[in-house]
Structures are given as C-alpha cells and as structure tokens.
Structure 1
Amino acid sequence: MKRDYRARADWHFAKADKAITADCDAMLAQHAAAGLLQSGATLKKSVKIWANRSEEAVTGVLAEMGSVIEKRDKEWSQAIGSVKQAIEAHRLKAEDQLGRYFRMAAPPGDMDGGAMKAVRGLLDAAAQGLLGQVDSFGDGWTAPRPKKWNERHPVAFAVIMAIIGAALALAGRAAF
C-alpha cells in the first residue's frame, strides 16, 4: 500500500500554521503592551516561533515515517523527498503567513529594507536547519533502527526453524 507522506507532512505543517498564528498573536499582544512594536524584537520572535513550530511539525512527520516504514529502500527515499518538498513549500508560505506581524513590527516604509532582508535570511536559515534535520534522519543517524528479518517475517522464521529442528533431530537419530 502506497502511503502519501507529502499529505502527512502538509497536515503537520497546517497544524503548525495554526499554532504559529496563535503564538504570534499572543506575542504581538505582549510586545504591544511592552512597547516593543516596530522593533527587531518582534521580527526575531516571529521568526523564532515559526522555526520552533515548524521543527515540531518535521519531528512529528519523521516520527510517523520511522514507525511505518520498516526498511530503508525506495519508499524511504521517496518519503524523505516528500518531506523536503513540504518544507520548501512551507518556507515559501512563511513570509505571507508572518506578513501581518512583519508589517506591525517593521519600521514604517521598511518592508523591503534591511530589516526584512535580515528576516528573510533568518527564515532561510531556519528552513535549512529543518532540511538538515530531515537529511540526518534520512541517513539514519536519528532514524529508528529497522526491524530484524525474523521480526518482519515471523511465520517464515517459525517454518524455517521447524525445518532446521526436524533436520537436526533426524541427523541425531541417524548418528546413534
């Protein structure tokens, strides 16, 4: 049965998007009360929220993958590729998603200025970190170990062991 890992990744990112919006709304209220609007603090905090929630989404989809895929073959490679595509799509949506917070935080008339260039750099760095997390998982450094052959095929293992046992019993009888 073919599984759609891109759809699962998109689901995790949609869930993260809701959490990002809620967290950014709360942050915006805090920063407004503290007089921190139109400062770099609001911009940086928005990016940090995006990065943290996105990392949670990636961790969730990778955990699902690791529990479902039993061996690292073509399905594994395709699943890793699907998650990377989902991360890239999520990054492309980030500026639109965070745009409202950026407009409130950026100095007037600086939506294309130095502050926004720095924010784009931070978003790109966060996305590269997510891709690195997926690469490490895909290479097996953080992925769960695949099941042993006898655990994946318990019936075949039992039959083979029964045949070996019978052969040893017959050989033992013939020797005495």
Structure 2
Amino acid sequence: MQELTHLDSGGAAAMVDVSGKTATRREARAGAVIQTRPDVIELIEQALIKKGDVVATARIAGIMAAKKTSDLIPLCHPLPLSKVAVDFRLYADNGRIEVETLCVVTSQTGVEMEALTAASVGALTVYDMCKAVDPAMKISDIRLLEKQGGKRGHWQREDPTDA
C-alpha cells in the first residue's frame, strides 16, 4: 500500500517537496456530468438562458479555476499552466451535459487537481446559470480520465463513463 504524501513524519499536513524532481511535460484530463431536462439543453443551445451564453461562460470559469487551484486546494503547488481546455457536449435527447477538461504543464508535479478543479467549476457554472430553469440539476461523476508524465507515467481510466 502506498503511503500518503501530504503528511510529515509526525502525521501533520505538509506540502510535498518537489525540488529534487525533474520538470517534465505532464497532462491530465478530467470530466464531470450534469443531468438536467432536455428542454434546458435546448435553451442553452438556442442561447435563451437569461444569464447569457452558458457554454462560453462555463468554459472561462473552468479555465480560471484551473489557474487558481493552488489558492483553493490546500497543499497544491502553484503551476505555470501552458494549456487549459474546457469542452462541453450537450445531449438534448436525455438532458445530459458532459464536461471534459485538459490541463498541460511542464513542471515537477502533476496537473490532475487543476483538471479536476476546472471540470468541477465548469459544471458548477452551468448549474448557476441554469438553476432558475431547473433547480433539480444534478452534478456527478467528477473524475480523472487520464494522466501522462511524471514518475508513474501514463494512466487512463478503463471506462471513461465510469465514475
């Protein structure tokens, strides 16, 4: 069993020292799902949500969130992100919105938390903008889909639809 990296020898929370690691290219993809009603998807697609362009706003929110991850998640290192992408797939037939993010960095530590934060905040922004129409929306399946780089190399979720 692997030991927790964010605890010191006395069991106290501590930021991991990455100064001895080599900076390498690292990528992470994450996802989230928003379940709503089919008519809400149609309103989003037709730009009829009163708060504005839902997808564009949620994309910007996700990008901003990735850049602020170290301010939000204790013990995360601030990273010089070289790319953040936040994409949305809307399915009007079943009221499903899929969020997928990609974060890239050349650094001494991974970028998984930034990808997960982007997916979470992107989904929360969709909720915020559409809650007047459907307060029963459900955000779920926030998960890491894939990571590359670093000591452990490549990892990919076997079934990307599995939470």
Q: TM-score, normalised by structure 2?
A: 0.32
Higher helix share: 1
Q: TM-score, normalised by structure 1?
A: 0.30
**More RCO (CA 8 Å, sep 6+):** 2
